[in-house]
Structures are given as structure tokens and as C-alpha cells.
Structure 1
Amino acid sequence: MSPTTTQTTATTRITVGELAVRFLEQCGVRAAFGVISIHNMPILDAFHVRQKIRFVSARGEAGACNMADSYARVSGTLGVCVTSTGTGCGNAAGAMVEAITAGTPMLHLTGQIESPFLDRDLGYIHEHPAQLAMLKAVGKDAFRIRNPETALATLREAVRLAQTPPCGPVSIEIPIDVQKMMLDLPADISPVAMAPVQPNLAAVDLLAERLAQAKRPLLWLGGGARGATEAVARFVKLGFAVVTSVQGRGIVAEDHPQTLGSYNLQKPAEQFYETVDAMLAVGTRLRSNETLNYKLKLPTRRFRIDANTLVENRGYETELFVHGDATLTLNALADRLEGRMSIDPQLTADVQAARQAAAALVDSTLGAYVKLKNTIGEVAGQNIWWVRDITLSNSMWGNRAPVLNHPRAGVHALGGGIGQGLAMGVGVAVANAEHQLGRKTLSLCGDGGFMLNVGELACAAQEKADVLFIVMNDSRYGVIKNIQDDIYGSRHAYVELHTPNFAQFCASLQVPHFKVSDPSNTADTLREALAIKGPAVLEIDMDAWGPFAVKFAGPPKKKD
């Protein structure tokens, strides 16, 4: 019998902390991430005693939250993060912003000080008087459990809300005395059944009538369509061309002849859009950095499907909007279009030509680094999880290469914050292991971002996370320096970084380290690094490799 459980003749008595853990088990959660503290020990003790959910001890709350985020993105299940109260909880705020930007379903459990002292601004140790307001600001919503009687209802509602489109992180703060309180184990602790958003079939009929006349139709797929691979395949079979946002990569395998992949804003892609007579955007916000600040010339006739009603006419106006789940709506639409389309036989060849031209344009900016881009694709293959931090290499090529063949294979810092790729790599590797997904995790990081949360490399070592960190080391914030060259007269301020000897640092953690100073050694070194089972670091010496052929100075914008 567990220390947190007392058996009686009629009922099982458990703590609120154990109730939370049992509920997460019912939600299908296999791993949770966090940092232990005096304000969450009843919850973590239940994880430890029950041994049904793997708990990963991050080195900081920001890293824990990023791990839970990336775990959810790859596994397709609920992410769970557990933090302390006050400053510990506040440490997770930036990672919460990333999760809500990415639309990640996540539950954040945090502590609070003892109930009698709450909301009184007494200067009680670990108190954050406005913690709940802060959590509401950085997430989708936030709740407080005030007593055992309302604990299950609050847990259910938080998870329901987190998993309701548009998905996002939801927080629950539980005062430490409430976590310890006892209650009878409820007979049913299952989560609320979630039903996908049913489309209005009359609207689907109308959309079908308009699309049926298209000769050169295009699907633009975003992250909201990642669960709709089979439905999307029906449109590919009909002859539709495809392009994706960075978040939608791999919904259609990126080596398919009918897809542009995520080469979505290069000039050849824009020229191709001019030949398209109908574009259907599904599960995407058509974000600023993928549309040249909404000035990218998209096809004139635009239609949209989304589970979030607020998306209608945001960024770009659309001729018709259908509110609904991507899979249900696309399948209903395909039912109405199959046998009716007459696609231009030249469309696929034009897609391939635009894709090749766009890829060549990107390659022309990379200089020696085209070798790294191509070698990763050739040596690592497609059976990978491709995690990226915000770094020059990701912005210039990692968001579009290597080729991905799985709708959840691409994980990146969508909100634009640096330093999240290391922890995200750990979360992805844990998801891969716990859900037996059978892929290798690669995480592309800059040296500046890597150092921001470098303590999580110790977490990776402790957890034996099977991830290869590719660290692009130029000993500076490269993109900021380029911006200073571009608009600040090359006044270089605060961008040069003192970085460690990564070989010695990795050795201190017993993490294998590899370094490539000569591009010709890339393939052999990469093969050796990929063979490691567990965490490893592959350092690219950018000072030795030299500069990119073109300077990247922030997200591309269309010139007026």
C-alpha cells in the first residue's frame, strides 16, 4: 500500500496530489516534466509511488515546460509540466508563451502557498500575489483548486480546455495544504470525452461547388492539419498541389512531386501562386514570417477551413470560411469532389519546377553550409525528429530542409524565442521512447541559445535521452550582428559571446562530443555521432567554415 493511500473497508482515501496523478494516467499521459519543490511534493510523491508515469527532472522550469510542449507535439497527447510556486512558476512563463503560440495542448500544475495566507500580500515566503493573473496572461487559462471537493472538476475542465481548438497550455495552481488534503477516490476519474468540431455540411456543399471548377487548386496546410494526413492524401490523389507552413511540414511527405514543402515564400513559389486558381488554407494562421508580413501575393481566390472561428479573414481575406475539424471537413469535402475535378495535367510539373527553383535559391545563400544541410538529409535520412532552436541555420535552411515525411517530425521554436531547442530535444526524445515511435531526434541549436538553458544537457544525460544536438558555434548572436550591419551602421554591441570549450564541458557531463572544423569531414563525423545511443553534441565550428553566402538579418519582408 502506498504511503499516500489509506485503505478502509469501504473506500480508498487519497490525497489531492495523488488524484491529480491518477487523473493524468486516465488521460493517457506517459511522461511528465518538472522541478521538485516543497510546493509540489505531494504530486511528485504520487508519481514516484505509483510508477505509471515517467517523471523527468528538468534543471529549470523553463526547460521543463519546453520539454512538455515538444513531448505533446510529437506524441499527439497531452503535455504535462509541474513547477513550484512564485519564482519557480514564473520561470516557466516564456515557455508557456511558446506553447500557446504553437497551439500545444498542455497542463501546467503549479503549487501555491498555504491557503490561510493566500491573497493577503503578507510577504509570505514563495508568495506571488498575482500568480494566477500571470498564468492567465501567458496561457490559455488558469484555475485554482481551493478544496478536495472541486479538484476533479477543475482537472477535467483544464484538460478539456487545453485540448479544445485552438489548443494551448492551461495552468492549475494548488495550494500546498490542499495538495495534502484527503478525499475518497472517485468512482470515475476519466477525462471529459472530446468531440471534434463538426462542419456545417451546407457550407461544405458550397465550398465543393466553388472548388469543383478549379483547374489548378492548391492546399496550404498548417499545424492544425497535422492529424488529417489521410484526408489530405485524398486531395493529393485528386491532383491538388500542396504547400505547408513550417508547422505543417510532413503532412504530405516533402519529397512528393505535388508539394512545395515549406518553400512557401520564395520568389519561385510566389510566381507559382499566380498560376493557381483556388487556394484552400487548412489549419493555418498564415503567419507574418511566412507571408512577408502579409504582403506575399497569394492566389486571388482563397478559401479556409479551421476549428478556430476567429481565424476567418485574419491576415488575408477569404472568399469562404468553413468552421470545422480538419479531418472531418476535408473528408466531407473530398466526398463531394471525387470524380468531379479536372486538374491541369501540367500542375505537378509546375510544382516540381517551383520547388527546385526555390530550393536552389535557398542553397545559393548558404555557402559551405549547403554541405551540412545536404549531409544531414543523406546520412540521417527521413526517419528522424527534426527539432530546431531559433538560430541562423534554422532560419536560412532548417525550416525547409531536410526532407520530412511525418506530420509531427518538425518541432521548432514557433514563437521566435532562443534557447528552447535543447530542452525541446529532450522532450521529443522522451516522447519517442515512451510511445515507441522508433525515430532518432536531432536538435539544431546556436551556441547562444544552447547556453541559455545549457543545464538541460545534464537532464539529457541523466535521462539518457537519445538526441543529437547540432550546435552551430559562431561565438555570437549571429543574426543580431547581421541586423546591426544592416541598419545600425555595423555598430556591434552586446553580440559577442564567451562560450565554453564544448568538448571539456560535455566531458564533464559524460556526453560524447564531436567537432567539425572542415566541411569535408561532415559525413563521417555525423555518422559517428548518430550512432551514439543517448545524448551527444556535434559542434560545427563556424569560424572555420566561414560566413554564409548571404547575410540573414531577420524574418524576410516584402519591399514596397
Structure 2
Amino acid sequence: MTCAELLIRLLRDSYAVDTIFGIPGVHTVELYRGLEGGKQEASEDGNGSGIRHVTPRHEQGAGFMADGYARTTGKPGVCFIITGPGMTNIATAMGQALADSIPMLVISSVNRTDTLGRGQGRLHELPSQQQLMAGVSRFSHTLLDPDGLPEVLARAFAVFEGARPGPVHIEIPIDLFNAPVTPPRHWQRCGLVKAAPSPDALDRACQWLEQAKRPLVLLGGGCVAAPEAARQLVEALDAPTVTTVNAKGLLGRHHPLDLGPNASFPPVRDMAMQADVVLAIGTEIGETDYDVVFDDGFALAGRLIRVDIDAEQLARNHQADLAMVADAGLTLSALAERFQNRHLSREGEARTKAALTALNLAGDPAFSAYVPLFNTLQEVLPDAVIVGDSCATVYAGNHLVSQPHPRRYFNSASGYGTLGYGLPAAMGACIGRPDLPVVALVGDGGVMFTLPELACAVEEQLPVIILLWHNQGYEEIRRYMDNAGVTRLGVDIQAPDFQVLAAGFGCAATRVADPAGLARAIANRPASGPILIEVDAAAWNEAVTQA
């Protein structure tokens, strides 16, 4: 067995990988021999149809697709990437996944072992590819011994399953793909047990929470695997709860204790300052979740209990009075069990309602144009996964949208904040959850970063609904320039004819100008394959204002 063949066997049989995103190159041809062999053997030995290969049109798209796949399924997204430019292309996607703690396995080639670091001008050569990728990954490893492949893969999946997840990069020199290896004696993955919270720490946390008069709970993306425990706990505590963008849907749609990701607004900040005990689980308490107005105004005055799988994170942003290094889901379950049948009364629902009433998000002029858009989506696609870029509809949706379950709303406007994410990430979500409709929220500026992925969406017959908000340029940056008294430059960009472009890719497309038109377009979408629905922002704003 060769190293490449062993890699495919391990991914398929030991780690249940069913999809790989990648663009073949001269340096990765041998990986594809192994991949085809994996498909054939899987079919013959009854293990299913093998591994699906999806070909994006850019390595950044591959990374974003893997990201969207991982967020919807909870499984690592896997990429095969060529040496050099393939790696620099995917680095942005890895940066986004690193910022949001998304499991992603990037397998790449690298130049021959006898040429590494010699600067000979070889094809795709970098001075140190491994060093470059280390900055956007949990770890980057150069495989120099083919027999060490099972161990390094085990390390990668240990990070995904038992530590703070994120991208892992493994590079294999091209001369090692065909190197003979000894297959491992056992194909099973490591039976990893996640870190449980300390009983003593749980006792102290429970004591503080029981004695609290005005508790507040902060739940982040680390909690998405335990929605039932999260719901039981906050209801038992009767505590208003901030759910970050990546935790949206954790408590269910319109839960009476859910403040949403609105910690940047005064009513929620006032509640945070008045809280005598704050319980923060699986959240960085970072800027893009708690301070999107960028004034450093989110502060806590009461006792802070923090739970995170990453010990270093517990020392960042806000000093904890009690810090637990533990899995968020196990901690939620343990706390929920201790408060089982002990429903405390702290006027939590009334306090939450008062804060949301003071916020009046639906009546905020900054959000009013988007309320009918999201109302329409909820009416016609109540179970949709909504995936967003950094664009106007997403900035509003972060505060307006309520989802019935976690893993059904995510975007790149938090954390790393890249552009071009929405379309390919939504495609990854389509592949990961073919049973659910998927909507990509994109803008006319950001979608140009990865628009060629329409070709892949058509090729794969992915029924993604691409909702393109066309406001003639970079609206968010225009607003910042205007507020700063800076003359607009580089933001009023010329857009292409998206209808013609979509047709060129073989993608269905239409324009809409009001909610009724949007509902009709969604109802008449193709059964298979994508549709691009272009919303004229100016016409939409006029229509909803007059309604």
C-alpha cells in the first residue's frame, strides 16, 4: 500500500470522511489515484459509495465550502490542495475557520524532501510552506516518514474532537505519495473522551448561580452540540441569555429568555453591568460578538464563571472569578442535571422582554428595510439554513433572525470578517445537509470574490438560493467613510450584469424588487441546481417604505 492509498483508507474507514473539496494539480495526482481506489473498494466491500470529490473553481472556495460543510454537519471539512499557490489561496478560508473554531483538515502536497528549504526555484516552491500555514491553523505538520501518517491524522482528529477545533494542515512531499507503507494493525479511530468539568468547580458555580439575584448567561458557538442541555439550564436558572451569532438557534426560535447576539446595544449592556453572576460558556467574549460598535463598551461587574475547552482563552478579554477548562456540552449537561426540577424565579422572562422591547430592533430605521425580507424567508423557508457573507443583509440578520435549531445560521461577518464566504460556504452547507433548503446572503461587492463558484454549484446541481442584495458597491464602507468625513473613494464600484453572468454559468436567475416578488422567486426555483435572486436594494427600500 502506498502513502496516498493509506491516506484515503484512513479518511474513509477510520474517520468516516464522505466528501473532499479540492482542485487537482500536477503535485497531487497520486492523491487522486488513491481517491479513485478508495471509491472502488468502498463499493466492493459494502462500505458505501466512497468519498465524494467536489471541484471548486478556486482554493479559497474549497476552504469556504469545507467550512460550511463542517458548520452544518459538525464533522471536519476536508480539502486536497496543491503546493504553493494552492496553499496561499486557501489561507484566507483557513483564517476564517480558525477565528470561528471550525474543524477543517487541509491535506496538501509540498516539494520533494531533498529540495525542501533549498530555494532552487522549483514549481510552486515556497521558502517554508509549513511555517506560512502555521499561522492559520491549530498546527501544521510536514510528513517526512510515511509510516507516521496514522499518528498525525489521529492528532488532527484529536484536535477536532477534544480540543478547541480549527484548521489542521498536513503536507506530504510529492516523492512520498507513492512510498510504500505498512498498514496499521487497527483501523479504528482513537476513542477520545472529552474533558469533563471538575466536580468541585461545578459545586462552586452552582452555589453562585443559586444565590444570584440577577444572573446572566452568555452562550457561544462552542455550545452548539448541546441545545437541549442549554435550554434546560437557562430555564432552570430563569436567566436572560445572550446567544452569539454562532450560537443562534441554540435555545430555539423566539425563546423567551433569548437576548440574541445583541450585547453591543445599551439595554443588554446595562443588564450585563447589573448582573451579579455571569455564566459564560463556549464564547470568546470577543469584539465581533459583544462590541460590533467598536467602543469597548461591554463590561461586567459581577462574578464571572467561564467555561472553555481552551485554557488560554479563559485568560483573554474578561478576567474570570471561576475558570473551568472543560467541554462546553458536558458542562451544560452537568449544570442542567444539578438544577433539574429546581426552577428558580428571577423574573428572567420579564427582564428579557423589557430589554428586547427597549431595543425595538424591528422598528430601528437601520433594520426596517430588512424586516420584511427575513419575514418572507421565515414564511416560505422556515427550516432553511441561512449562510452569509459580510454584507448589509447579514449585518441586519445577525440581530433580526431567530432560528429553530443551531447550525442553521452562520456567516463571515464575525471573527475574521472575510469577503467572498457566503456563496461557497452555502454550497458546502447544501452538500452537508441536502435535506434542508439553503440560502446564501451575499452582496454585489463581496460575491465578486468567489462568483466563479456558480460553475461548481451548477455542476454539482446544488439547490442553493443565492439572495444577492445589490446596493451598487461597498455600502458598509461608504457609511464608515461618510461618518468619518472621508471623501468616498473606491467604494462606488461598477457591478456587472449578474443576470447575464448567471446565465453564462447555466444558473437560473431573476430580479425582484419587493417581498412578494421574493416569495414568488423562491416558490418557482429549480428543483435541482442553484438560483440567483437579485434584489434591487433601492427599489426594495422604496417598496417597503410605501407598504
TM-score (norm 1): 0.89
Q: Check conservation: 1:263, 1:355, Cα contact below 8 A.
A: no
Residue in structure 1 matched with residue 403 of structure 2 by the alignment: 404
The one of 479, 482, 486 aligned to 2:483: 486
5+ long unaligned stretches in structure 2:
40-49
The one of 531, 541, 545 aligned to 2:540: 545
Alignment of 1:199-214 (within 5 A): 199-214=197-212
| Count of residue pairs brought into register by the alignment | 528
The one of 2, 21, 29 aligned to 1:33: 21
The one of 342, 345, 351 aligned to 1:343: 345
Which whole-Å CA distance do the structure 2 matches of 1:18 and 1:57 have between them?
20
Q: Check conservation: 2:245, 2:410, Cα contact below 8 A.
A: no
The one of 295, 318, 332 aligned to 2:320: 318
Structure 1 residue 109: deviation in Å? 0.3
Amino acid of the structure 2 residue aligned with 1:399: N
Provide closer, same or farther for how the CA distance between residues 548 and 199 of structure 1 changes in structure 2, counting only shifts above 3 A: farther
Amino acid of the structure 2 residue aligned with 1:443: A
Q: Check conservation: 2:162, 2:195, Cα contact below 8 A.
A: no
Question: SS at the partner of 1:89?
Answer: helix
Which whole-Å CA distance do the structure 2 matches of 1:185 and 1:342 have between them?
57
Q: Check conservation: 1:377, 1:403, Cα contact below 8 A.
A: no
The one of 62, 65, 85 aligned to 2:63: 65
Which whole-Å CA distance do the structure 2 matches of 1:144 and 1:390 have between them?
34
TM-score (norm 2): 0.91
Provide the identity percentage: 31
Q: Check conservation: 1:274, 1:298, Cα contact below 8 A.
A: yes
Provide closer, same or farther for how the CA distance between residues 319 and 174 of structure 1 changes in structure 2, counting only shifts above 3 A: same
What's the CA shift string for 1:73-113, capped at 9, x where partnerless? 11111210110001111111111101100101111000112
Alignment of 1:98-113 (within 5 A): 98-113=96-111
Structure 1 residue 476: deviation in Å? 0.7
Question: SS at the partner of 1:166?
Answer: coil
Residue in structure 2 matched with residue 124 of structure 1 by the alignment: 122
Question: SS at the partner of 2:140?
Answer: strand
Structure 1 residue 269: deviation in Å? 2.2
Residue in structure 2 matched with residue 256 of structure 1 by the alignment: 255
Alignment of 1:190-229 (within 5 A): 190-229=188-227
Alignment of 1:166-245 (within 5 A): 166-238=164-236, 239-245=238-244
What's the CA shift string for 1:447-476, capped at 9, x where partnerless? 111111111111111111121111111221
What's the CA shift string for 1:261-312, capped at 9, x where partnerless? 2233222323444554322111001111332244224462322111111122
Residue in structure 1 matched with residue 5 of structure 2 by the alignment: 18
Residue in structure 2 matched with residue 6 of structure 1 by the alignment: none
Question: SS at the partner of 1:419?
Answer: coil
Amino acid of the structure 1 residue aligned with 2:536: D
Residue in structure 2 matched with residue 50 of structure 1 by the alignment: 38
Alignment of 1:405-484 (within 5 A): 405-413=404-412, 414=414, 415-433=416-434, 438-484=435-481
Residue in structure 1 matched with residue 264 of structure 2 by the alignment: 265
Amino acid of the structure 1 residue aligned with 2:194: P
Residue in structure 1 matched with residue 303 of structure 2 by the alignment: 301
Question: SS at the partner of 2:369?
Answer: helix
Q: Check conservation: 2:163, 2:309, Cα contact below 8 A.
A: yes
Provide closer, same or farther for how the CA distance between residues 319 and 184 of structure 1 changes in structure 2, counting only shifts above 3 A: closer
Q: Does 1:502 align with 2:498?
A: yes
Q: Check conservation: 2:61, 2:450, Cα contact below 8 A.
A: yes
Structure 1 residue 548: deviation in Å? 12
Question: SS at the partner of 1:22?
Answer: helix
Q: Check conservation: 1:222, 1:282, Cα contact below 8 A.
A: yes
5+ long unaligned stretches in structure 1:
1-13, 550-560
RMSD across aligned positions (CA): 2.2
Q: Check conservation: 1:79, 1:106, Cα contact below 8 A.
A: yes
